[in-house]
Amino acid sequence: MWRLVADFMNDLGMLMDLLSPLFPSSLIIIMCLGSLSRSFTGVASGATRAALTQHFALANNAADISAKEGSQETLATMSGMGLGMLLAHVTRGHDLVVWVSFLSLTIFHMYANYKAVQSLSLSTLNYERTSILLQYFMEHGEGACIAFLRGFMKSILSCIVVTGTMQAN
């Protein structure tokens, strides 16, 4: 969940950067809000990184997984910078194309991250998962298996993304 929040805050920061020239009198405030949004991204994504590394480290190889993730992130960042410079060159002077490109890529980015988070099958217990399991035990008199919890978390994630709340519609 926090991984999606981090990505949303990063996209919001980039949106602020694009909006800032449209409001010259508020340029500094908008750019500061964008920077603040991106700094929140660093905190939220850093907090989730350890849990995701442990998820993929099936053979006590968290350091190896972390190193590979760092290498992949570096490659993705450098490729993205190159493609971004190319896109900036191609779209220079075409404001509508810039906005369509930004919105299209942002929607794709959030969708891809949503699918990635949805596909995770975390098997560790945090406070939220423990509360769900205890509530299930209190209501049914038996323990729920991890598979039930994974399915429950995926359905909660779907409710949050579709309705914006924890309530199913």
- 59-117 per-position pLDDT tens digit: 888 888 888 888 998 999 999 999 999 999 999 999 999 999 999 999 999 999 888 88
Span 33-52, mean pLDDT?
Answer: 85
Q: Three-state DSSP class for 126?
A: coil
Taking the complete model, does pTM exceed 0.75, yes or no? no
- Residues 6 or more apart whose CB falls under 8 angstroms from that of 52 comprise 3, 120
Show the tokens assigned to 156: 């909660």
Span 121-150, mean pLDDT?
Answer: 68
H helices then E strands: how many in the chain? 6, 0
* pLDDT at site 5: 86
From CA 154, how far away is CA 152, in angstroms rounded? 5
137 or 5, greater pLDDT = 5
Half-sphere exposure of 89 (CA within 13 A, CB side): 6
Residue 169 pLDDT class (50, 70, 90 cuts) = very low
Residue 43 pLDDT class (50, 70, 90 cuts) = confident
